[in-house]
């Protein structure tokens, strides 16, 4: 099978492309860094695209910080341009569980609960808009991972670890909230299964949810960090996050504060997602959550 992978210079796209190549697929990689066919997907469709059987669309902005116009340009306009480039190919779209309503807890939330109509930030709003666009194609597959981690991760776990202050890692809630995480290995597996599985929307997570406290302590231990989680009550933490966001905005910081309201929404409440559909329709067989090897990332 000849497969185009967008965002191949990024964390998810790179892992997907390598796995497909190792399985003897003919993989065409697109990105904005050396080593790939250069394509800024915000600039329009490809003029003379190579023929492919399938597209795995991994390119996108992954941040809860920055101008809304930039996020909509890459996540919505960029997706429209990729769809227009290969109108006849099987289309696998890597979305996010952030399209669900972040203001409420999620306990084994099914795919039918999203995308929501209200969002905390431009990232989730732009990804939800992109999903709606993709689903106008009847043969498309949309995958919704939550909190993707693993070798090559430049976002989630580095941000968590950068919040360590001396002997403590500030966190929110009680630590007893259950969280669904998605290892990069499981997401790659889902992408491969989606190439031939039935069209539709699928949650993609590790085999079972984990307690937040268990996950944080396992990560710290694997990294050899002598710190422990210290939990802040939800409401005061949310107020502090709002204050920090305002300060960073006034300073025009290109980087987000360690604690944002969006981050709190995904850590302070239950965030678990039902993967029954992926197991049944895609023969998705996820591994359990594990930070083994985190010390070498």
pLDDT tens, 13-37? 999 999 999 999 999 999 988 999 9
- For residue 49, pLDDT over 80 is answered with yes
pLDDT digits (tens, 9 = 90+) for 222-243: 999 999 999 988 888 878 878 8
Q: What percentage of residues in the chain have a pLDDT greater than 70? A: 99
pLDDT digits (tens, 9 = 90+) for 82-118: 999 999 999 999 999 999 999 899 999 999 999 999 9
What would the two tokens of residue 79 be? 């997706």
What would the two tokens of residue 148 be? 């993707």
Report the distance separating Cα 188 and Cα 185, nearest Å: 5
Report the distance separating Cα 211 and Cα 27, nearest Å: 38
Backbone phi, then psi, for 273, in 5-degree steps? -135, 140
- pTM, to two decimals: 0.94
The three-state secondary structure class of 175 is coil
- For residue 260, pLDDT over 90 is answered with no
Report the distance separating Cα 293 and Cα 297, nearest Å: 7
Q: Which residue has the tokens 């944080």?
A: 216
What would the two tokens of residue 68 be? 């809304």
- For residue 297, pLDDT over 70 is answered with no
What's 290's DSSP letter?
Answer: -
Q: Which domains does the chain carry?
A: 2-292 (3.40.50.720)
- For residue 256, pLDDT over 80 is answered with no
Residue 13 contacts residue 58 (beta carbons within 8 Å):
yes
Report the distance separating Cα 1 and Cα 6, nearest Å: 16
């Amino acid at each position: 099978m000849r497969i185009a992978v967008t965002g191949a210079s990024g964390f998810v796209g790179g892992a997907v492309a390598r796995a497909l190549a190792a399985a003897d697929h003919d993989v065409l990689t697109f990105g904005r860094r050396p080593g790939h066919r250069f394509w800024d997907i915000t600039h329009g469709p490809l003029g003379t695209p190579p023929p492919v059987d399938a597209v795995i669309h991994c390119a996108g902005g992954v941040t809860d910080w920055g101008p809304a116009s930039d996020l909509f340009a890459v996540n919505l306009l960029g997706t429209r341009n990729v769809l227009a480039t290969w109108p006849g190919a099987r289309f696998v779209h890597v979305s996010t569980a952030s399209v669900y309503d972040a203001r409420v807890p999620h306990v084994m939330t099914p795919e039918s609960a999203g995308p929501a109509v209200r969002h905390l930030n431009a990232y989730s709003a732009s990804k939800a808009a992109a999903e709606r666009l993709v689903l106008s194609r009847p043969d498309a597959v949309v995958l919704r991972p939550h909190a993707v981690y693993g070798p090559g991760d430049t976002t989630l776990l580095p941000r968590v670890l950068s919040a360590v202050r001396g002997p403590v890692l500030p966190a929110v809630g009680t630590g007893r909230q259950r969280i669904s995480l998605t290892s990069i290995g499981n997401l790659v597996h889902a992408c491969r299964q989606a190439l031939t599985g039935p069209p539709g929307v699928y949650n993609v997570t590790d085999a079972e949810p984990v307690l937040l406290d268990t996950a944080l302590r396992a990560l710290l231990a694997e990294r050899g960090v002598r710190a422990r989680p210290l939990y802040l009550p939800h409401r005061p933490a949310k107020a502090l996050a709002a204050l920090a966001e305002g300060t960073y905005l006034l300073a025009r910081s290109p980087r987000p504060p360690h604690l944002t309201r969006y981050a709190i929404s995904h850590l302070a409440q239950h965030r678990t997602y039902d993967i029954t559909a992926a197991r049944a329709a895609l023969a998705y067989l996820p591994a359990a959550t594990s930070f083994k090897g985190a010390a070498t990332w």
